[in-house]
Amino acid sequence: MSRDQVEVRGLTIATRPRDGEARVIVDNISFALPKGEVLALIGESGSGKTTVALSLLGYSRPGLAREAGEIRLGGTRVDQLGPDGLADLRGRRVTYIAQSAAAAFNPSRTIIAQVIEPLLVHRLATRAEGEAKAVELFRSLALPDPVTVGQRYPHQVSGGQLQRLMAAMALITDPELVILDEPTTALDVTTQVEVLKTFKTAIASAGASAIYVSHDLAVVAQMADRILVLKDGVTQEQGAADQILTRPRADYTRTLMAAARPALRQPAKAKADEPVLEVAGLTAGYGPIRDGIPAIPVVRDVGFELSRGSALGVIGESGSGKSTIARAIAGLLPRASGSVRLGDEELAPALDRRTRDQLRRVQIVFQNADTALNPAHTVGETLARPLRFYFGLQGEAAAKRVEELLDLIHLPRSMAVRRSQRLSGGQKQRLNLARALAAEPDVLLCDEVTSALDTVVGEAILSLIDDLRRDLGIATVFISHDISRVRAFCDRLLVLYAGRAVEQADRDTFDRGEHHPYTQLLLRSVPEMDPGWLDSVPAQPVVTVEKSAGGDDLCPFLSRCPAAVRGLCDTTPPPLRAGPPEVRCHLGAPD
C-alpha cells in the first residue's frame, strides 16, 4: 500500500461516437500524489487536462468514456464506484473549484446558503454549525467582513472575492482532494495574486491534496509541488516543480515557457513622419452627455499619438475602459468630447458621419473571434465583403486578393470555401485579423485579441500582427490586460486606470523613471516562473486614504494606493509629471 493519497494509473479516455472512429482524448496517463501535495496539470486547451481532473470526480463529460486505467483515492477505486458511491464522494471527499465563480453560483440564493450546502447534503453538520465553520473559512481566506459576507448575493461581491467564496465551498467538507480548474484565469493580475495567496495557505492549512489545472506555467510555479505537462492527451513530462521549471526536458515545455515570456521586439524605426492617429482629450461613456461628459463616463481625457507602423499598448484591468477607447476611435461608441484625428482629417464621433474611406482606414479586431465571425459565411465570403465594399473588387480579382490575404495570415488557400465556424480558435482569430487587413487600414485596433487563446497560439498571433504592422506600415493599438506581453510587442505604453491614463512612455524609456503606484502594482503582480515569487510579493495595503465624495478629478487610484498622502492626494488633482515616463501622480512631482 502506497502512502499516496491519489493514484492514477494508465488512464485512457476516448470519445465514443455512435458512428465513426473513437478518438483518444487522454492517452495512458499515470501519476501519484502524496497527501497534502499539489499537482499541476498544464497544457493548452484540448490537451485533456480538464478531462483528467474531472475523472477524479468519477465524471466524464457527455460523449466521453473511460476506456482503461485505475483511479484510486485513499483506499477507494473511484473508477469502480456506482452512482451512490459517487454521490457520496463528490462534494465531500473530492471537491471542485471552477474557472468562473460567477457562473458556478446560483444568483438567486445567498452565498452562505450555497457554501454550506455540501455539509447539509452529506449530513455532516447542522445549519448553525455549518455557518460557523463557513465564517471561519471566510476569515482564513482573507475575505472582508467574514461574518456578514455570506448574507450577500453573488452579484454583490467582486470577482476575486467570489472565487475565494467558491474555495470556501470546496474546503468546507474537509476534502481529501480539491480540484482547481483554472481558478484565476478569469481574474485581473492584481486580483489573481491575492486569490493565489489565499488558495495556497487555505489548502495547506486544510491538509488536502490538490490538483491544479492551468495553462499558465508561472501561476503553476507558485502553487504546485509537482507538475505534469500534457499535450493532446499525452504526458510530455512530469516531475517536481523545480525540476520542470528550471530544467525542462521536453521540447513542448520549453515552447510553453518561451511563449509565456516573449522576448522584446525591436522598436519600429524611423518615426520622424507625421502621426497617423492623434487622440486628444478623449472622453466617452454611456448615458446623456452634458458639457462633453456622459452620465456614466468610462474613459476620461485620454490622449496619445501614433505614427506609421508603430504600436501602442493600452494596458488596464477589466472595467478600466480600454475597450471603450477602441470603440470610441472606431466610432462604434460616439465619443462625448475630445478629438480623434486620422492623418490630417478630424474623424466625426459617430460612424454614420464618417466617409467610407475614413472607415476603411481604421479597422478594429475584436477579442472573441467566435462571435466576431458570422457563422453563416464562409472564409472566402468573410474576406471578400470588405474587398467589394471598399474597393469594388468582384469575381476573379476578389478571389485572387482573398488568396493573397490567406497567404498573409498563413492559412491554406483551400480554406476559402470552409465555414468560419469550422476553424480552430487560432485560425478564427487569424481570419478575424485578415478581414481587417483586407481593408488595407492605416490604423489597426486590436482589442484583447489573444485573451481567448492559448499561450502558444496567442503568441503566434501577436508575432503575426507585429510582423504585418512593420511590413505594411500599419499603426497598431494593442489593448490588453497583460503588461508583460504587451510590453514585448509595443513601442509605446499607456497604462489606464478607471478610465484615465495614469502613465505613458516609450517602451525604451518606460523603466527609466519612477512608475505610477498602479503600474508598480501591475508589474509586481505579473507572476514569475520562480516558485518563491508569490511569497515575495508584499500584501496589498489596507486602504489608508478614502476618496472624498465628488472629487472627480482626484487620482482614481487613490483608494488603493499604498503611497497616498492624506491632505494632498485626497484634495488636489494629481499633476502630470514630465517623463519619461509621463506619470499623473503627486509622487516625485515638483511642488
For another protein, the binding residues (CB under 8 A) are 330-332, 351, 354, 356, 359-360, 363-364, 366, 368, 371-377, 385-386, 389-390, 435, 439
Smallest distance from the beta carbon of 409 to another protein, in angstroms? 16
- The DSSP code sequence of 265-320 is PPPPP---SPEEEEEEEEEEEEEEEETTEEEEEEEEEEEEEEETT-EEEEE--TTS
**Beta strands across the sheet bearing 76-77:** 24-34, 4-15, 64-73, 76-77
List of residues 6+ apart from 265 with CB closer than 8 A: 466, 488, 489
Q: From CA 276, how far away is CA 345, in angstroms rounded?
A: 10
The cell for 176 is 481529501
Residue 144 backbone dihedrals phi, psi, to 5 degrees: -70, 145
Is residue 328 within 8 A of residue 284, CB to CB? The reply is yes
- As a whole number of angstroms, the longest Cα–Cα distance in the chain is 78
Minimum CB–partner distance for residue 99 and another protein (Å): 22
Torsion from C-alpha of 112, 114, 120, 122, nearest 10 degrees:
-140
Nearer to another protein, 360 or 560 (CB): 360
Identify which of 453, 513, 521, 458 has the alpha carbon closest to the alpha carbon of residue 486: 458
**Least distance in Å: CB of 421 to another protein?**
11
* Closest CB to another protein among residues 367, 504: 367
For another protein, the closer CB: 389 or 533: 389
**In sequence order, which ranges of 146-268 are alpha helices (DSSP H)?**
159-171, 189-206, 217-223, 241-246, 251-260
Q: How far is the CB of 373 from another protein (least distance, A)?
A: 6
Comparison of 5 and 363: residue with beta carbon closer to another protein: 363
> For residues 76 and 378, which CB has a smaller minimum distance to another protein in the complex?
378
Smallest gap from residue 365 Cβ to another protein (A): 9
Give the burial string for 362-388 (b: 16+ CB within 10 Å, else e): bbbbbbbbbebbeeeebbbebbbebbe
Cβ closer to another protein: 263 or 376?
376
CB closer to another protein, 217 vs 423: 423
Task: Phi first, then psi: give them for residue 313, nearest 5 degrees.
Answer: -105, 125
Instruction: Pick between residue 443 and residue 587 the one whose CB is nearest to another protein.
Output: 443
Q: Decide if 466 contacts 474 (C-beta within 8 A).
A: no
Residue 1 or residue 376: which is nearer to another protein going by CB? 376
Q: Which residue's CB is nearer to another protein, number 149 or number 372?
A: 372
Nearest distance from C-beta of residue 298 to another protein, angstroms: 17
Q: Which three cell numbers stand for residue 228?
A: 505534469
Backbone angles phi, psi at 535, to 5 degrees: -70, -20
Grid coordinates standing for 231?
499535450
CA distance 61 to 438: 40
* Residue 370 exposure: Cα atoms within 13 Å on the Cβ side: 6
To another protein, the closest distance from the beta carbon of 420 in angstroms equals 9
Identify residue 77 by its one-letter amino acid code. R
Record the cell numbers describing residue 511, joined without a space: 523603466
CB of 190 or CB of 429, closer to another protein = 429
Give the shortest CB-332-to-another protein separation in angstroms: 6
SS3 helix, strand, coil % of the chain, rounded to 5? 35, 25, 40
Residue 248 vs 426, nearer CB to another protein: 426
CB 40 within 8 A of CB 241: yes
In the complex, minimum distance from the CB of residue 485 to another protein, in angstroms, rounded to a whole number: 22
CA distance 85 to 78: 9
Residue 212 Cβ vs another protein, minimum distance, rounded to whole Å: 32
State in angstroms the smallest separation of the CB of 241 from another protein: 39
Q: Which of residues 367 and 484 has its CB atom nearest to another protein in the complex?
A: 367
As a whole number of angstroms, the distance between CA 512 and CA 581 comes to: 7
| Smaller CB separation from another protein, 202 or 333 | 333
Give the residue among 562, 553, 563, 552 at the shortest CA–CA distance from 586: 563
To another protein, the closest distance from the beta carbon of 286 in angstroms equals 14
Q: How far is the CB of 366 from another protein (least distance, A)?
A: 5
Residue closer to another protein by CB (options 222, 367) is 367
Query: Minimum distance between the CB of residue 403 and another protein, rounded to whole angstroms?
Result: 21
CB distance 203 to 170 below 8 Å: no
Name the minimum Å distance from CB 359 to another protein.
4
> Cell 509541488 appears where?
225
Give yes or no for a contact between 55 and 96, defined as CB atoms under 8 angstroms apart: no
